[in-house]
Structure 1
């Protein structure tokens, strides 16, 4: 809904509640939506004009990604209120937001990778995005998070809590967000820092990981863990001793090789955001970090995301001064094609195939018959799914 006010650019709030159906559910995430819906929209965004979008128990990660991209492209402040549970992909060691169809065995395909969220929000202007989380982590994910480094990059303010799964494995309630809603419905409008403290105190958050931006900085890492690799210390140094900025690449690569893929992807997204802000879209610097993100997705064994990012990189080059036979363009398309060939989820492969086919027709590359090979594998995927060949 849209509420008219004096601001020409309204704020946007996305209320996302997601948890698996059945016995795997650790939190009754959707129960908080009624409480948040009763809050005046202006309270959710801090603006007189507000657009509020609800997404309750989505089934597919692509559905969530589409909504995220839509709200991330909106001007004005963005607030994301997120209730749900986190699970760890045991093969890739990546944190995912569990969705309605997620099970421990299928989280890699049915959950929303946390670094997707970080990547979509990283393109927004620093300080314009606030994420408020009320999450529960299963036992394996909780152990992983306890090592620190969890967040959404330096451009996003993050508040909230992550709790360990209940001892008796009964579904808990998102009490932190419900406490926030109760405070707002009382008519109070405290600053977000104070609101966070009140909600944490009222929701029995002892033992949970609590998140809040670093005081004195417009945006920063969560208080519960160390800074993202490549992010400088905010402690002041001697005025007459300037410190050269360290190269962030070794730290990011080290995190990825250590299996901290969410951390590495968030850091690369933050550097890409900085490059976009400083040098602009289509710049060599921004394109470099886009391709770093594609490489990190490959290291994380997420060929679908890597394919998508390499296609984006090829598109940026083609929209610039580079031609379809430029070696860098061909290399980007070849890598996208290679990653697409590694996707073992037929639905995900078909989703990306339309853009990849169009890109291959424009950039045939040096490998003979690349487009035909692409089409043949697409036909095989459809045969596997339907049990019959496509009609000619």
Structure 2
């Protein structure tokens, strides 16, 4: 046993008729497990989220847990629904309805973005999920739909959401809790197999999917290859390919920056950050990661693209520090990936961070890279549909607009009018 660990117990499902998984029923069993047993450490902190209401609150708690240096275990019970506009899975929360999914549920790729940057071997996610028919179909066609990035280990059971009657029960996660409490020490793979067998025996459901991933190595050692998707057993028939909805933004109400590709070279600095060097002289040069990331995003695999980009950003931070061209480059890549995923608030937040970082690197306010970052943050801010999120990001944007007015007059005045 080593440093202090963190365990997050997250059980979430809509209230009323929309509840397809009795998620909270497993919390007493999980809470009865000593925290140190959950994380494999001498001491551990437990964060319990029972039927949370707001995705931003969940994101904040997950982000804080992910920032801890010790081992992290996330126990997750809930139900998945598909955002029909972007074809992205979301974890439903207490107030989620089909009409409000994009604003009241937690996007799965937010989870991937927070956990995917942690060092390999430090993060485990144990999940028991019910999937609505659209997510179920997508999972059959693309087992990597729930990929969390190169570092985390995901062991999960996914069952089809019942169409009517009693909601599903998290028997797989309950079995994992029983194994933890029993004191039997099993490898993660063995514990997953045992819990899966017990869940099938207690609550047989038609063709459950059990996800058992193989972690990918960190990008510095693996070049740009995208992480291997999880395996799924048993196999189910693969339906026809699911079309991916377009992600072109609506017309802006402020001067719009010139169109740019989703991935560099448009955002690349004068000297683009090079991929990690080969391990030995004469070894093959690492592959540029940008094409693989862009291909994943354009295919609708936004969570996978965001997780790989975040892992490269984490590596740039480790190698070069936060005030480096390499690190800000990857922040800008992630910002545009958020735009492609239809997340203007997240995109705005990242563009603001990129602009602040460039100013912190003593780049001039009229530098095209600085102006471009602020212009794009402003443009994405105009597309935020949640008033609370727009108000939260507005003051930072106003402050940046005062320092970086840009090349088109009236942007600051338009922003202040909109804020009032």
Classify the TM-score, shorter chain. 0.7 to 0.9
Q: Determine helix, strand or coil for the equivalent of 2:292.
A: helix
- 1:95, distance to aligned residue in structure 2 (A): 1.3
Kindly indicate whether residue 179 of structure 2 is the aligned counterpart of residue 183 of structure 1. yes
Taking the aligned partners of 2:117 and 2:303, their CA distance within structure 1 comes to 17
User: What does 1:136-285 correspond to in 2, within 5 Å?
Assistant: 136-146=130-140, 147-150=142-145, 151-168=147-164, 170-204=166-200, 207-214=207-214, 221-224=229-232, 243-285=284-326
Q: In the alignment, which residue of structure 2 is the partner of 1:342?
A: 383
**Structure 2: 5+ residue stretches without partners:** 219-226, 234-279
Selected match of 1:47 from 41, 48, 61: 41
Q: Determine helix, strand or coil for the equivalent of 2:53.
A: coil
Q: Determine helix, strand or coil for the equivalent of 2:63.
A: helix
Selected match of 2:400 from 359, 367, 377: 359
- 1:346, distance to aligned residue in structure 2 (A): 1.6
Q: In the alignment, which residue of structure 1 is the partner of 2:87?
A: 93
- 1:182, distance to aligned residue in structure 2 (A): 1.1
Taking the aligned partners of 2:357 and 2:127, their CA distance within structure 1 comes to 33
Taking structure 2 as the reference length, what is the TM-score of the superposition?
Answer: 0.79
- The answer to which of 109-118 and 343-352 deviates more is 343-352
Alpha carbon RMSD of aligned pairs, Å?
Answer: 2.5
**Aligned partners of 2:9 and 2:74 also within 8 Å:** yes
Q: Determine helix, strand or coil for the equivalent of 1:203.
A: helix
Q: In the alignment, which residue of structure 2 is the partner of 1:13?
A: 7
Q: In the alignment, which residue of structure 1 is the partner of 2:50?
A: 56
Taking the aligned partners of 2:74 and 2:57, their CA distance within structure 1 comes to 16
Equivalences, count: 360
Q: Deviations over 1:142-198 (max 9, x none)?
A: 111222222111121211222221254531111111101111222223222211111
Q: Determine helix, strand or coil for the equivalent of 1:224.
A: strand
Q: Determine helix, strand or coil for the equivalent of 1:149.
A: helix
User: What does 1:108-119 correspond to in 2, within 5 Å?
Assistant: 108-119=102-113
Q: Determine helix, strand or coil for the equivalent of 1:135.
A: strand
User: What does 1:381-392 correspond to in 2, within 5 Å?
Assistant: none
Taking the aligned partners of 1:215 and 1:96, their CA distance within structure 2 comes to 22
Taking the aligned partners of 1:274 and 1:79, their CA distance within structure 2 comes to 22
**Structure 1: 5+ residue stretches without partners:** 1-5, 226-238, 380-392
Structure 1 residues 56 and 329: alpha-carbon distance in aligned structure 2, compared to 1, 3 A threshold: same
Taking the aligned partners of 1:358 and 1:84, their CA distance within structure 2 comes to 40
